[in-house]
Amino acid sequence: MPVMNDEVPDEGDFDADRKRGEFDNITPEDFIHGGGAGHGNPPGWLGPADINRARHQMPIAYVEIVPVRTDELGRIAQVGSLLRVSDDGSIERTLITGRVLFHETLREAIARNIAKDLGDIALPLLPASLHPFTVAEFFPTPGLSEYYDPRQHAIALCYVVAIGGDCKPQDETLDVEWVAPRSDMMETFINQMSNGHDRIVRQALAWAGI
Amino acid sequence: MPVMNDEVPDEGDFDADRKRGEFDNITPEDFIHGGGAGHGNPPGWLGPADINRARHQMPIAYVEIVPVRTDELGRIAQVGSLLRVSDDGSIERTLITGRVLFHETLREAIARNIAKDLGDIALPLLPASLHPFTVAEFFPTPGLSEYYDPRQHAIALCYVVAIGGDCKPQDETLDVEWVAPRSDMMETFINQMSNGHDRIVRQALAWAGI
Amino acid sequence: MPVMNDEVPDEGDFDADRKRGEFDNITPEDFIHGGGAGHGNPPGWLGPADINRARHQMPIAYVEIVPVRTDELGRIAQVGSLLRVSDDGSIERTLITGRVLFHETLREAIARNIAKDLGDIALPLLPASLHPFTVAEFFPTPGLSEYYDPRQHAIALCYVVAIGGDCKPQDETLDVEWVAPRSDMMETFINQMSNGHDRIVRQALAWAGI
Amino acid sequence: MPVMNDEVPDEGDFDADRKRGEFDNITPEDFIHGGGAGHGNPPGWLGPADINRARHQMPIAYVEIVPVRTDELGRIAQVGSLLRVSDDGSIERTLITGRVLFHETLREAIARNIAKDLGDIALPLLPASLHPFTVAEFFPTPGLSEYYDPRQHAIALCYVVAIGGDCKPQDETLDVEWVAPRSDMMETFINQMSNGHDRIVRQALAWAGI
């Protein structure tokens, strides 16, 4: 059975043996178009050698999504965050994030990554415009920018997306937790995020006027 | 019976006698909180003397809304425009627009003006952020800016708002027509708009990447 | 000699007698086109009765500017804040803010208010687009929104403007102080701001990716 | 002597023999840190095999810049466009565009590409925020999106940048021409652009309120 190791910043997986072999760098998204068995090469799929090589050669395009629940006037009523098992086995709090695949539009990448983490009936309401609320630049060198990703240089276009349906956490996502943006829990949750995702949430809230 | 004369740019009313008396400058929005009979002074209501005085003293804050239908990926599938009877009795094509009332939030003003034109079950999906896609400055002097309004200096914050429900045109609005943004009809409709609303639609489409 | 009382949120003046008479609500901006003696009615000028009436009738359009110094790559190197004597005689820290006058464009209002506070050789570099980084809604009712202004309902379009020249504080502005955006002093300065200007600076920094 | 073939959309070079050999896919930007002789491997440099492989594996991150001259109020007074010799030997009109290199920030990529085309004393005034006015998605399949690039899937973050200094066209750029945004020449110039750059200029103008 292939062991999946995600490509995305700060995500983990809960397979303790994940670093032992040739599939270490195959990611969930590499299989997402490949059918239930994970066989075959889906569009945009990259093998471990290719993705590793690319990560040392050029910036990798990502989308990063802050899921929210909105009220009848469009105001953010709740902000969602994901609980995942990180690489070292601890549980981490993070956002929805993933690489943009070859020949995939940004909208497809956003919808695919939301479906991957929140399930197929989350009913995301993508914005009419793809202006990101921020562009986060992750570098493999600590301190070079606000954002650090030891694996790669990533350029993440960040979006707030309202979720209209029901969430069924999937794959490596253990749970999705929602908190009011001005609550004490919001502050607690933000402080539990690492690698810059805390900053991205704060920027999303500032962008929304909160 | 009070004769209503709208405050908003390019809107009209279909009362042929509308310019004869003391209620000429009372607008639909002045009555919107006033109950079915239109009696009483709703919050933010201004009499004709006050609104006329203000219009010659300071810029008036407006919201202007381009209603759209979106597909499952959030792309604009259709753009809505309103048919109204203009001041000179001809039918004009326009957008949703209205003054921000005293003590009213922008979100309330957006929702109120959409309900005024499209009815109560239009289910607008207001964006999470109130960044306008453009700020249109209307001046009573032709040629001073891209936008002209003979009645006033208006500062209009412009938004694209997805409509999720059913539209029932109300008040002075005769009809709402929807066209695909890349269709020939879109171009025809834009050309039928005047006083800068055509430019606002083009800017909305550009902002949405179309 | 007329005693001037500014219209803008959080600004003050240092004339101890300022609340005694008929000129209490005449503001610096009302005189700005009126020449050194303050005589005459400049364009957009409003007397105290008119401005007071308007403030209880409709939202007042403002611009609010966060002045910055940028480095050769356009990054914010320093954020400026103003020291002014507030209404109660204490010194307060604030931003550049002022009403948009009748028949004045937003760009003219931004340039005029910067010149009023920083002098005529500040050489502001206004952005090519007038998309505000946030729209701050001030209400005279505490708690109704993030922003409170006891005098009025104001809608402030907020901009970051790079200052390329020399600053010579004028009128009621005692000093302009510049701090690095990530410094401890930045946090201190933000905490010294009141009435929501602290939030506006934080939103400006978030918008700039800091 | 190595024959350079640019990586960027719509750029060309004027070497008639450019498609004959192993250096066909080495680009000017690959050499930009490598000194006059083009020897050595600059940071972010990719050989033809690597860049070709990457172009078939993942989206490539680009910046695209619309250079402008602004007036004292920040309004766009002139829009610049570049004349270059295209791949088929004809002269084409285009914008400033280039790949983001590994470990390069967006700001560095913007400044580097402006210097490459306009010279070292162009004195670009980069905006305080890196919100792109649009994100243009180029696909190697015609018709899939608004933007087509036969060589690759590219995600271009698009910016308007004011040029404060003197332009000295360099490398493959024959000339830089400036026109007023509302002039007939602007329309002519836009119509001379291909591969979506015309749309990008129109979006830049719409974003600036023109």
* B7-39 tens-digit pLDDT: 333 333 323 333 333 333 444 444 333 333 334
- What would the mean pLDDT of A50-60 be, rounded to a whole number? 88
ipTM above 0.85, yes or no: no
Give Cα separations from A198 to A94, A114, A180, B6, D153 (angstroms). Answer: 8, 19, 15, 47, 31
The beta strand positions in chain A, using DSSP E, are 60-70, 76-85, 91-94, 96-99, 124-125, 134-139, 147-148, 154-163, 173-179
The reported pLDDT for the residue numbered C143 is 80
For chain C, the residues whose C-beta falls within 8 A of a C-beta of chain A are 134-136, 146, 202-203, 206-207, 209-210
- What would the mean pLDDT of B186-194 be, rounded to a whole number? 95
Q: Which of A153-162, A183-192, C6-15, C175-184 has the lowest mean pLDDT?
A: C6-15
Give me the percent of chain D exceeding a pLDDT of 70: 79
pLDDT in tens, A109-154: 999 999 999 999 999 999 999 999 999 999 998 887 889 999 999 9
The reported pLDDT for the residue numbered A86 is 78
The reported pLDDT for the residue numbered D3 is 29
CB-closest option in A126, A128, A133 to B68: A128
Q: Which of A20-24, A99-103, A193-197, B161-165 has the lowest mean pLDDT?
A: A20-24
Question: Given pLDDT bands bounded at 50, 70 and 90, which one contains residue A42?
Answer: low
**Which of A165-179, B115-129, C11-25, D32-46 holds the top average pLDDT?**
B115-129
pLDDT in tens, D76-99: 999 999 999 877 888 999 999 999
* Contacts (Cβ under 8 Å, ≥6 apart) of C83: C91, C92, C93, C173, C174, C175, C176, C177
Give the distance from residue A130's alpha carbon to the nearest chain B alpha carbon, in angstroms.
7
The reported pLDDT for the residue numbered D185 is 96
Buried b (16+ CB within 10 A) or exposed e, A44-64: bbbebebbebbbebbbbbbbb
Residue-range domains of chain D with CATH: 59-207 (3.90.79.10)
The reported pLDDT for the residue numbered A43 is 65
Q: Which of A55-59, B2-6, C127-131, D141-145 has the lowest mean pLDDT?
A: B2-6
The reported pLDDT for the residue numbered D171 is 76
Residue whose C-alpha is closest to residue B54's, from B63, B64, B44:
B44
Give me the percent of chain A exceeding a pLDDT of 90: 62
Position with higher pLDDT, A199 vs C39? A199
User: Do the chains contact at D128 and C73, CB–CB below 8 Å?
Assistant: no
List B162's β-bridge partners, or say none.
Answer: B68, B125
pTM of the shown model: 0.84
- What would the mean pLDDT of C29-56 be, rounded to a whole number? 60
CB-closest option in D136, D146, D206 to B207: D206
Mutate: best of D65, D66, D73, D108, partner C, most C CBs <10 A: D73
Question: One-letter amino acid identity for A107?
Answer: R
Structure tokens at B145: 């800016």
- D47 alpha-carbon distance from chain centroid: 20
pLDDT exceeds cutoff 90 at B109: yes
The reported pLDDT for the residue numbered B147 is 93
How would you write the pLDDT of chain D (210 residues) with one tens digit per residue? 232 333 333 333 323 333 333 333 444 444 333 333 334 455 676 888 888 888 888 999 999 999 999 999 999 999 999 999 877 888 999 999 999 999 999 999 999 999 999 999 999 999 999 999 999 999 998 887 889 999 999 999 999 999 999 999 987 889 999 999 999 999 999 999 988 999 999 999 999 998
How many other CB atoms are there within 10 angstroms of residue A123's CB atom? 14
The reported pLDDT for the residue numbered C8 is 36
Question: Given pLDDT bands bounded at 50, 70 and 90, which one contains residue B41?
Answer: low
Question: Given pLDDT bands bounded at 50, 70 and 90, which one contains residue B42?
Answer: low
Residue of chain B minimizing CA distance to A107: B73
Q: What angle do CA B178, B179, B185 make, to 5 degrees?
A: 130
CB-closest option in C146, C209, C210 to A209: C146
User: Do the chains contact at A74 and B125, CB–CB below 8 Å?
Assistant: yes
Q: D43, D102 in Cβ contact below 8 A?
A: yes
Structure tokens at C151: 């005098």
Residue of chain C minimizing CA distance to A208: C134
D24 vs D182: CA distance, rounded Å: 40
Question: Given pLDDT bands bounded at 50, 70 and 90, which one contains residue B152?
Answer: very high
pLDDT in tens, C95-127: 999 999 999 999 999 999 999 999 999 999 999
Give Cα separations from A194 to A86, A176, A200 (angstroms). Answer: 11, 17, 10
Buried b (16+ CB within 10 A) or exposed e, A187-209: eebbeebebbbbbbbbbbbbbbb
pLDDT in tens, A159-199: 999 999 999 988 788 999 999 999 999 999 999 998 899 99
Residues of C in contact with B155 (CB under 8 A): 61, 100, 106
pLDDT exceeds cutoff 60 at C14: no
Interaxial angle between packed helices D197-207 and D184-192, expressed in degrees from 0 to 180 and rounded to the nearest 10: 140
Q: A171, A119 in Cβ contact below 8 A?
A: no
D77 vs D93: CA distance, rounded Å: 19
Give the distance from residue C202's alpha carbon to the nearest chain A alpha carbon, in angstroms.
8
Q: Chains B and D: how many Cβ contacts under 8 Å?
A: 24
Residue C60 is given by DSSP the state: E
The reported pLDDT for the residue numbered B86 is 78
Give the distance from residue A206's alpha carbon to the nearest chain C alpha carbon, in angstroms.
5
List A80's β-bridge partners, or say none.
Answer: A178
Mutate: best of D102, D108, D141, partner A, most A CBs <10 A: D102
Radius of gyration of chain D (CA): 16
